[in-house]
Structure 1
Amino acid sequence: MKTTVERLQGSRQELFIDGQFVAPKRGEYVPSYDPTTGAPWYEFALAGAEDVDAAVRSAQAALKSNAWRRMTQTERGKLVRRLGELVLEHADELAQIECRDNGKLLKEMRAQMRAIPDSYLYFAGMADKLQGDTIPVNKLDMLNFNQREPIGVVAMIIPWNSPLMMLTGTLAPCLAIGNTVVVKPSEHASASTLALAELAIEAGIPPGVFNVVTGDGAVTGDALTCHPGVAKYVFTGSTGTGRKIASNAAQNLVPCQMELGGKSPHVVFSDVDIERAVNGVVSGIFAAAGQTCVAGSRCFVEAPIYERFVEALVERTRRVKVGHPMADDTDIGPLALAAQLAKVQHYVGSGVEQGARLAAGGRRPADPALAAGWYFEPTVLTQANNDMQFMRDEIFGPVVGVMPFTTEEELITLANDTEYGLASGIWTRDIDRAMRFARDIEAGTVWINTYRSAAYMSSNGGMKHSGYGRRGGFEVMREFSRLKNVVLDYSGAMQDPFVIRLR
C-alpha cells in the first residue's frame, strides 16, 4: 500500500473507478482538515455526475463480466479473505490515516484495524453457504425451488466516525455474495477508503467490482442516490440525510438499508456495583468523544442511588484525559469537525438555559496545546428531563444527561419517549428485570451489564427513526441478495393449454 500519512500530507487524492485511480472530469478538489489543528492536510477529488455515472457503469459492467459473474463462490470467498489479510498487514498505516482524518484515538484505531480482518474472514466463509430451498407443491413431477443471487450494484455512503469499520460490515458480505460496489466515503474522512482501494487491487479483486467516488453530499451524494443503475443503497448517518436518500432512491424504486440517528437510554438500577456501572456509562458516552450512533446519551438512574451515582460519575468524568489522539495516555481526542464542535457547544448551552445543571465539563480544554483543535471536555448535565432539547436531539458528542426514575413502568415510559430506537443498555443484578426491559424497550440492540459490545456475528439495526434493515451475522447475507423462484416440470407430458385439470 503506497498511501501513508506522510504521503497524504499536501497530496491530491483521485477517484477509484474500474480498477484505476483517475482524476475528476471537472478537475475539482476539496480540502480535508486535521481535527487536531483545524488545518487542511490533503485534497480529495470532487466527483460530479459524470464521474458517478462512470463508476456505476463500471460496476454494472463488472457485474456481468465473466471475471466476476462466473467466479465460483469459493473463489470469491478467497478474495474477500485476502482483502482482510491485507488490511491486517497494513493495520498500523490505516490506523494512522483514520486517526489523522477524524481525530479518533490511535490506540482505538489500531484495535479496530486488527479486528476488521476477522469480519472479512467470517463473510468469506459465508460465500459458499448462501443456500436456497425446495418447496413442496401439490403436483407430481414438479420441482419448485428458491435460489439466492447477487442483488446488483450496491451504493454505500459511509460516515466519518469509523470509515473502514462501518464499510467492512456491508462491503465484505456484498463481495462474498457477488455484488459490485460504489462507495462514497464522507467528505470529512475519505483517505482510508481510498487506501483500501489500493489493497483491493493487490487482493486481485477484478476492475469495476469496487469503486470509490469522493465528494460532498450535495454534488456527489445526490448524483449517486439518483442514479438508475444502483440496485440498493446503504447509508449510515443522520436521520435527516437518510430521509433525503430514501426519497431519491424511491424515484427508481430502489430499496435502502439505513442506520440513522440514536438517542440511546442507558439505565442503572440500585442493585448494581456503582463503580462498575459508572465505568459502563462513561464508556457508553465518552468513548470516541461520543461520536457513535449508539452513544448512551440519556442516563436514567434509580432514585435511591441517584445522588451517589451522579457524584461517582462526575468524579470519574473529571479524570478522563482530553488530548492528542496519537498520545497513548489520551482518553478523548478532538471532535471530527468544526461544525460538530459548534453543535456540541450549542446543545450544552441550551441544556443549561432550559434548567439542566452543568456538573462536569461543558467547555473547551484550558490546555493551550489543544487550542487550535476541535476539542471539548466530556460533559455531564444533571437535573435533566426529556422535554429538554439536548435530551431529544442526537448531539453526537461527549455529552450525557442524567435523570432519576422510581419504577420500572416509569423507566420504560421515559426510555421509549424518543423518536429513535437504535440501542439501549441496562445495569442490574436482577435477571427477571433485565429480561422485562429487553422485552419492552424500543431498540434494535439491548446490552445487559455491558455497553457498546459489538460483534460481527450478530445482527443489529434500528427501530423507529433510527433506520431499517439489518447488518452483521448471516442476516446481512439475505439483505444483499435477492430471492429467485424456479419451477421445473420434469414429467415430459404434453398438456392441452385450454384444458383445466382439477386436483
Structure 2
Amino acid sequence: MTKKLKHYINGQWVESSNPNKLDILNPATQEIIARAPNATRDETEEAIKIAKRTFESGRWSDQSPQERAAVLLQIADRLQENIDELRDLEVQNNGKTKREAQSDAEEAVNTFRYYAGLLTMPNGQAYEAPGDMQTLVVKEPLGVAGLIVPWNFPLLMSVWKIAPALAAGNSILLKPAEITPMTAVKLFELIDRTDLPKGAANLVMGTGPVVGQTIAESNDVDMVSFTGSTGVGRLIMQAAAGNMKKVSLELGGKSPNIIFDDADIETAVDFSLFGIFMGAGQVCSSGSRILVQEGIYDEFIEKYIKRAKKIRVGPGTDEHSQMGAIVSEKHLKSILHYILMGKEEGANLALGGNRIEEDGLEKGFFVEPTVFTDVTTDMRIVREEIFGPVVTIQKFKDEGEAIKIANDTEYGLAGAVFSTDQNKALRVIKKVRAGITWINAYHLTTIQAPWGGYKQSGIGRSLGTYGLDEYQETKQINISIDSKPIDWF
C-alpha cells in the first residue's frame, strides 16, 4: 500500500491544503512508494511563524546546555533503536546500497551524540578590558533556522543540520528534497517521541520554488542552511538578502584526485574507485577528475578499468550490489546527456556509458560505471559537475602542472593526493584550493572535522565545533567592576 505522508508542524501531523501531491518513487523499480504533501506558501509561512513563536517562548532556547544535550541523546537513542528501518527506507527511496545506507544511519546516530557531548564542554571567553572592565564573549542561538537538504544523503544531511541547530537552541524548519522525504518523515516520528518542545522542530515538504524560496525570503527566518547545487545556492543567497539573514551553503564540486608516479598504485586505484563510484557518483565531494602522472598513466588506466568492470550494479536491497540506482529519471537523463557530450567532445570512452536495461534492472534507473580518458581541461565533462558514476582521467607531467590542472575549476570542495613521498604530498595538498582533502585516501572523514568548500563550492562549514558556530550568534558583554562616572563631558 502506498504510504500517505504529512507535514509535522507544532508537534502535529497535518495535511496540506494543496490537492496536488508528490509521487515518491523507488528508483530501483519506479514503484510509487508514497505520496507526499506539496506545501503552499501560506503553509510554509505558518510553520515559520510557529517556529518563531516557539523560539521566543524560550521553551527550548532558554533550556540549559545540559537539558538540551539530554534531548539530543534521546533522539540518538530513538534512531539507534530504529536504525534498520531508517537504513531500509533510505535504500528504498534513494536507491543507494544497503551498506551505504547503514553507514549513513550509524553516522546520523553518532552526530546527535557528538553534539550532545559538545554542548557540555566549556564555551565562551573572558577578557580583562581597560577601565576596570571585564569582557565576556558568549554564544547565543540565532532564532529560526531554515534547513534545506538534498536528495543524495536524505537522512544524513538532515541530521548534519538538525543536530547542531537544535544543540545551539534554535527552532528549526526542515525542507527535505521533494523526491526523497521518507527518512525525514521517520526522523520526525522519532523526534516526536522525545522531550523536545512542540514547535521547536518542524517538517514541511514541497518544491524548492515554493517552500525553499519562502524559507529563504522570510524575514522571520534568521538563518538558511542549504546543501545542493551551486546554481540553486545563488538563488538562495539572493532571496536571503531581504533581511540579511545568515547563509550557510554546501554546494557543488568537481574534485581533483592527483596520482603521482611514486604512488602505491593499488591503493590509488582502490580509493579512486571509491572516490567516484560510492553513491553512484551522486556525492558532492566525489573525486570526479583523476589526474595521473605520465609515467604510470597507461598502467593506472589498465588497472582502474579492470577493477571498474567488476563493480556489481543493482538494487540496494540485493546484498551483492556494490553500486545502486540513480535517484530519478530526470537525473538519469542528465547523466546520459553528459556522457553523449563527452563522446562528441572527443574524449575516449574507455568504459561504460550506457543505461543498464537487462538482468532485471530495466525498470530502474541504473547507469554503468563510466570512464573517459584522453580528456582536456576545456571539455565540459571535465569542467561541469555531472553528479553521477562518470569519471575523467587526465595526464600531467609534473607537480606544477598537477596543481594548475587541479585548481582550474570554479569549485573547491574536495581533493586528494597519492604519493609515497609525504613531503611532496603535503606540499601539493596545501596548494589544492579545496576545503576537504586527503593524502593517500579518499572520502574518509570524521564528524569532528569541518565540512565545506572554497570558491563556488559554498560558504560556511558543517560539523565539528565549526558546525555549531554556524547556528550561533556571538555576543560581547562588558561589565564594569568599579562602577563610577566616566567624566567624559
Whether 2:301 is the aligned partner of 1:291: answer no
Please point out which of 309, 312, 321 is paired with 2:303. 312
SS in 1 for 2:60: helix
Instruction: Tell me if the contact between 1:179 and 1:209 (Cα under 8 Å) persists in the aligned partners.
Output: yes
| Structure 1 residue 248, shift from structure 2 partner | 0.1
Match of 2:22 among 30, 42, 60: 30
Cα drift, residue 66 of structure 1: 4.0
Which TM-score applies when normalising by structure 1?
0.95
Contact 1:52-1:220 within 8 A present in 2 as well: yes
Q: Is the 8 A contact 1:361 1:377 kept in 2?
A: yes
Which residue of structure 2 aligns with residue 49 of structure 1? 41
Amino acid at match of 2:338: Y
Computed over aligned residues only, the root mean square deviation of the Cα atoms, in angstroms, reads 1.3
Which residue of the other structure, out of 218, 228, 231, is the alignment partner of 2:209? 218
| Contact 1:107 1:326 (8 Å CA) reproduced | no
**Structure 1: distance between partners of 2:326 and 2:67:** 41
**Which residue type is aligned with residue 463 of structure 1?**
Y
Query: How many Å separate the matches in 2 of 1:107 and 1:45?
Result: 30
The alpha-carbon distance between structure 1 residues 232 and 66, as it changes in their structure 2 partners (threshold 3 A), is: closer
Change (3 A) 1:378 1:492: same
CA contact (8 A) 1:130 1:477 kept: no
Give the aligned partner of residue 12 of structure 2: 20
Query: CA distance change for structure 1 residues 316 and 495 in 2, over 3 Å: closer, same or farther?
Result: closer
The corresponding residue for 1:248 is 239
- The answer for the alignment partner of 1:71 in structure 2 is 63
Q: Secondary structure at the match of 1:61?
A: helix
Aligned-pair distance for 1:125?
A: 1.0
The question of 1:133 aligning with 2:125 is answered yes
The answer as to whether partners of 2:62 and 2:169 remain within 8 angstroms in 1 is: no
Q: 2:53: which partner in 1?
A: 61
In the TM superposition, what is the alpha-carbon distance from 1:467 to its structure 2 partner?
0.4
Conserved? CA contact 1:154–1:233, under 8 Å: yes
Q: Which among 155, 158, 171 is matched to residue 164 of structure 1?
A: 155
Q: How does 1:183-202 map to 2 (within 5 A)?
A: 183-202=174-193
Instruction: Describe the superposition over 1:154-183 as per-residue Cα deviations: whole angstroms up to 9, x where unpaired.
Output: 001000111111121221111111111100
Among residues 469, 479, 483, which one is paired with 1:478 in the alignment?
A: 469
Pairing of 1:96-495 with structure 2 (within 5 A): 96-129=88-121, 131-140=123-132, 142-494=133-485
The question of whether the paired residues in 2 share the 8 Å contact of 1:422 and 1:462 is answered with: yes
Give the Cα–Cα distance (whole angstroms) in 1 for the partners of residues 486 and 207 of structure 2: 60
The equivalent residue for 1:83 is: 75
CA distance in 2, matches of 1:495, 1:114: 58
Task: Give, in angstroms, the shift of residue 203 of structure 1.
Answer: 1.7
Q: Given that residues 46 and 216 in structure 1 are in contact (C-alpha distance below 8 angstroms), is that contact kept between their aligned partners in structure 2?
A: yes
Following the alignment from structure 1 to structure 2, what is the Cα–Cα distance between the partners of residues 130 and 472? 18
Aligned length: 489
* Residue identity in the other structure for 2:388: G
Runs of 4+ in 1 over 4 A off after TM superposition: none
Please tell me whether the aligned partners of residues 429 and 437 of structure 2 are also in contact (alpha carbons under 8 angstroms): yes
Alpha-carbon distance in 2 for matches of 1:436, 1:93: 45
Which residue number corresponds to residue 86 of structure 2?
94
In structure 2, C-alpha distance between the alignment counterparts of 1:461 and 1:319, rounded to whole Å: 32
**Counterparts of 1:130 and 1:219 in 2: how far apart (Å)?**
41
The 2-side partners of 1:411 and 1:495 are apart by 62
1:388-421 deviations in whole A, cap 9, x for unaligned? Answer: 1111100000000001111100111111000000
Contact 1:12 1:29 in 2 (8 A): no
CA spacing shift, 1:399–1:495, aligned 2, 3 Å: closer
1:223 maps to a residue whose letter is T
Measure the CA separation in 2 of the matches of 1:470 and 1:70: 25
Query: How far is the alpha carbon of 1:267 from its aligned partner?
Result: 1.0
* Identity over aligned pairs, percent: 34
Matched letter for residue 98 of structure 2? L
Distance 1:130 1:248, change over 3 A: farther
Secondary structure at 1:104 match in 2: coil
Q: 1:495 to 1:320 in 2, by over 3 A?
A: closer
Deviation (angstroms), 1:65? 2.2
The reply to whether residue 39 of structure 1 matches residue 31 of structure 2 is yes
1:349–1:495: structure 2 CA closer, same or farther, 3 Å change rule? closer
Shift of residue 468, structure 1, vs aligned partner: 1.0
Q: Secondary structure at the match of 2:128?
A: coil
* Runs of 5+ consecutive residues of structure 2 not aligned to the other structure: none
Supply the distance in 1 between the matched residues of 2:245 and 2:485 (Cα, whole angstroms): 41
Give the partner amino acid of 1:191: M
TM superposition score normalised by structure 2: 0.98
Shift of 1:492: 3.6
